[in-house]
Structure 1
Amino acid sequence: MSAPACTIAVIVPVHNAARYLPDCLESIAAQQFDDFCCILVDDGSQDESPVLCDNMAAGDARFTVIHQPQRGVSAARTAGLCRALEIGAGWIAFCDADDLYHPAFLSTLYKAVQETGLPLACCRYDTFADAVPAEAAPSAAVKRLDRPAHLDALLHDHAVDYGLWNKLYAAALLTPAMLDNDLAYNEDLLANWQAFCAAPGCAFCDYAGYHYRQHADSASRRGLPPQSLDDQRRAAALIRGSVPPQWPALQQSANAFYYEKLVYLASMILRRADIMPYRVQLGELRIGITAGLNDRQLGRNPQLPFAIKASAWATVHAPKLWRWVCRNFLKDRQ
């Protein structure tokens, strides 16, 4: 079934999401912005998700479905983007199949890009497990983040965040290669970095327009596959190596982000009961942290938070004590 032309195409990658998908689709269908279409990409689901997608498309002409063999979330988003570009959508938004939109998500971000003339807008998000957070009315004020401030915010401001899902993009800003970038982890961060580099700025709406569901199967709650460590480090290295040369302050920011990522990933390993499956990654991270400890671009970077500097020092000079701290005080994702 082909999708109708629309102003905004919402792309939802779906894989075995039947438990949460109806709520997600209901939140999209209830948007106060009328001129949208929703492209559901069923990525080889083995549960009831394909039927739920087909039923939604049969009952609401704004929804259409792509069924494909399982290829991963990046490939699913890419398939959705290709369909959106084929039908001439002017703007692109994303939603994960277990999350929810605020009713004014699309209308608020679209209003922001129209008012500012920028090809990119984002809003804050909140998290929930069971009850959906109370939905406050969006603020009428829109903050402009002109380049390179929007790139710095992408790296360091958790309100902007790495995710694709709390943002609205001009369709011309995204390419299939950006989304399907050969990373399984932090793929959204790298895609956003490339999109943000192509944009003159970002409009920021200071309200929680996206509701991020946390549950046992959430990406943020899963274990720690060694590939995730490799991918996150690779994404940070690619960002550090691709800062436009006319922004030296942004280079410092990217250097700090890279070093902070090394320290963070080492702590992720050290907080686990068994670190042997990660011995190669931990060794590589320690080498990088040690080499950068006295480097003004890395460990002595003035933009690096003191807590990260202290953690880096402890990783190198007090490894047993630091592992005890990580095991006893850094409880998440153990």
Structure 2
Amino acid sequence: MTTTAQHSSSEDEPVLTILTPVRNEAAFLKSCLASIEPPSGLLCEIVLVDDGSEDESAAIAADFAAGSAIPMQVIRNGHRGKAAALNLAFLAARGDAFIFFAGDDLLVGSALPARLAAVTAGMTARSPCVAQCRYRSFSDTHPGLAGILFPRPGMEDHIAGGAVSFNRAFAGRYFPIPEQLPNEDSWLRALAIALDLQVVPLDCLGLHYRIHAGNSVGPLRSFAEADRNLRERNAAYALALERFDREITASGRRRLEAIIRAEELRSRGRWLALLFVGGLSRIDRAMMLANSAPWLYALKTRLLPKLRHWIRRRV
């Protein structure tokens, strides 16, 4: 199942579309949009979908669009969720390549040419391609969680939506995102696994990721919240197995089936059985274990400050 979007750029001058879903981000949206500063000569557009905000987000976006030098569409939608907002944004997009950009983060404009070129250069443009840059956390309210550089060592294939760029060939398979999913990240990774894609690593900082109480995922969540969110997010792997059953690679099928089995055990609290799931990567096993029981989640939370200190010393 694919979704067709508008397309009006030339092969010689690829266009980058920034897909921005927003809901109740009035506190951050002005600084978010102001950070979109592409270098001169880079063709860029913004498609922002307001997902039924109850604050001033839609008005802030409309005011910015009216004075923006970058072509920008603002689309208002009922509160249907982030996945639905991204699907709607893609339908209005004209680009050759795409990035996701949340309304509470800050973009590094100087990294946009590299993020665009990585997925549109030469033959890459004709086959599905995903690239991932680096991103760093910051926080006005939780300074202990600021300054962490991602992706962490060994987690390079755990794709973060705001750090990725991808081309139209990938987008044609990726969209529509199943709207029962809470966000885009797990669907990105599920599709990359299903198609056995190598995610292109970019050694540049492309995003400042804001940590605050409103984040849908992250270290500020309780075990119950984290467990519920993981159940919803990890449904992406079974959905990918179903949607791409006829084109999935053999290795992709094995990896997806291993993750699906591990999630079944994790959600039932069977942490010991997770140790014996075949075909699961070391990082996936560790993440499933750390989120499989309240005591393991608490242990992970206590160890995180030491881990962050170690990471900072290495980068």
TM-superposed CA distance for 1:18, in Å, is 1.0
1:68 paired residue among 77, 84, 90: 77
Letter in 2 for 1:105: A
Q: Identity of aligned pairs, percent?
A: 23
Which residue does 1:161 correspond to in 2? 158
Q: 2:119 is matched with which residue?
A: 113
In 2: Cα distance, 1:190 partner to 1:134 partner: 24
Q: Which residue of the other structure, out of 259, 267, 277, is the alignment partner of 1:257?
A: 259
Distance in structure 2 (CA, Å) of the matches to 1:200 and 1:328? 34
Q: Residues 158 and 186 from structure 1, CA distance in 2 versus in 1: closer, same or farther, beyond 3 angstroms?
A: farther
User: 2:177 maps to which residue?
Assistant: 180
Q: Which residue of 2 aligns with 1:128?
A: 138
Aligned position for 1:214: 211
In structure 2, the CA distance between the partners of 1:54 and 1:245, relative to structure 1 (3 Å rule), is closer
In structure 2, the residue matched to 1:43 is 51
Alignment of 1:186-225 (within 5 A): 187-194=184-191, 197=194, 201-220=198-217, 221-223=220-222, 224-225=224-225
1:161-195 Cα deviation digits (max 9, x unpaired): 33322122222322497343033335431244336
CA contact (8 A) 2:107 2:206 kept: yes
Matched with 2:35 is 27
Asked if 1:100 is matched to 2:102, the reply is no
Specify whether residues 29 and 326 from structure 1 end up closer, same or farther in structure 2 by C-alpha distance, changes over 3 A only: closer
- Note if contact 1:184-1:228 (Cα within 8 Å) is conserved in structure 2: no
Q: Could you tell me whether the CA contact under 8 Å between 1:21 and 1:97 is conserved in 2?
A: yes
Larger radius of gyration: 1
Alignment partner of 2:205: what SS?
A: strand
Does the CA-based 8 Å contact 2:154-2:283 persist in structure 1?
no
Once residues 124 and 161 of structure 1 are traced to their aligned partners in structure 2, the CA distance between those partners, rounded to angstroms, is 12
TM-score (norm 2): 0.70
Letter in 2 for 1:80: A
Change (3 A) 1:31 1:260: farther
* CA separation of 1:95 and 1:301: change in aligned 2, threshold 3 A: same
CA 1:304–1:113 in structure 2 vs 1: closer, same or farther (change >3 Å)? closer
Confirm or deny that 1:299 pairs with 2:276.
yes
Matched residue of 1:219: which SS? coil
Aligned residues: CA RMSD:
4.0
Question: How far 1:69 moved relative to its partner?
Answer: 1.6
Give the Cα–Cα distance (whole angstroms) in 2 for the partners of residues 306 and 115 of structure 1.
Answer: 31
- Cα–Cα, structure 1 residues 48 and 251, in superposed 2: closer, same or farther, change >3 Å? same
- Structure 1 residue 58 and structure 2 residue 66: aligned? yes
The residue aligned with 2:20 is 12
- Does the C-alpha gap of structure 1 residues 45 and 61 become closer, same or farther in structure 2, counting only changes over 3 Å? same
Structure 1 gap segments, 5+ residues each: 136-152, 267-281, 316-321
* Matched residue count: 275
In structure 2, the gaps of 5 or more residues are 1-5, 10-14, 305-315
CA shift in 2, pair 1:24/1:222, >3 Å? same
**Equivalent-residue separation in structure 1 for 2:177 and 2:120 (angstroms):** 28
Confirm or deny: 8 A CA contact 1:120 1:167 kept in the other structure.
Answer: yes
Structure 1 residues 183 and 299 mapped into 2: Cα distance closer, same or farther (>3 Å)? farther
In structure 1, distance between residues paired with 2:40 and 2:183: 31
